[in-house]
Amino acid sequence: MLLMSRIALSLLLLISGSMFAVTVQTQQSITLQKKREFTARFLLYLPEGYQEKKESKWPLIIFLHGAGERGDNLNRVKVHGPPKLVEQGKEFPFIIVSPQCPKKQRWDDAMLTILLDHICKEYRVDTSRLYLTGLSMGGYGSWSLGMALCDRFAAIAPICGGGSFIDVYNASGAKGKALRSLGVWAFHGAKDTVVPISESEKMVEALRKFGHPDPKLTIYPDARHDSWTKTYDNPELYQWFLKNRRK
């Protein structure tokens, strides 16, 4: 009788555990080839239903962390942004890839492009719905990669970052057309003393002068450098991402 009770209890725990299992992000490490081999470390989140819906393709978010999360410990990448929210149990309708930048380095467009190509090849990504976001150093990385691949990304959301407006004015032909149709929503704290708010303002103004119809800039009047917590906690950001699609 006691044995039967224990078996019943074990089955109950197994069933309840499967019912309330939380999807988690996994740590990935792959070797890629640029001019030389390099190792890309990243967190990978696959949305609920990814494994079951074999014919479905999913939108992709690339998240670029700030300078404080560089290194070779992927747990550091979980302290802010979408990776943090995933760890807290939040579910997203996106594949989310959060790479880690090596120590003493900055985000490199060429290496990120190779990683993006790899993800699009190995996973069921809807390439018409590629999204890019990042904070601080990752905000700079988002502006840079977003300008370079404006014909591939559907939308970018740089947070407390900046970039080179020359990258904007150098876009021409099909690239210029793609840039003008790129969804852009930047965020910054008005009291930021680490990255001046003028860094975001000059990029948005350059886009307007270039002919972009609606580059958005949200300024938090009382925020300092941390303008990312409120941004990533806002469901409107993810709804806005999904409204943008590359033809």
CATH of domain 24-243: 3.40.50.1820
Q: What is the pTM of this model?
A: 0.88
Under 8 Å between Cβ of 125 and 60 = yes
Does residue 12 surpass a pLDDT of 90? no
- Segment 63-110, tens digit of pLDDT: 999 999 999 999 999 999 999 999 999 999 999 999 999 999 999 999
pLDDT at 166: 74
Q: What is the mean pLDDT of the chain?
A: 88
pLDDT band at 52 (very low <50, low <70, confident <90, very high): confident
pLDDT at 21: 38
Looking up tokens 């993800």 gives: 119
The β-bridge relationship of strands 26-33 and 37-45 is antiparallel
Q: How many CB atoms are located within 10 Å of the residue 234 CB?
A: 13
- Segment 98-130, tens digit of pLDDT: 999 999 999 999 999 999 999 999 999 999 999
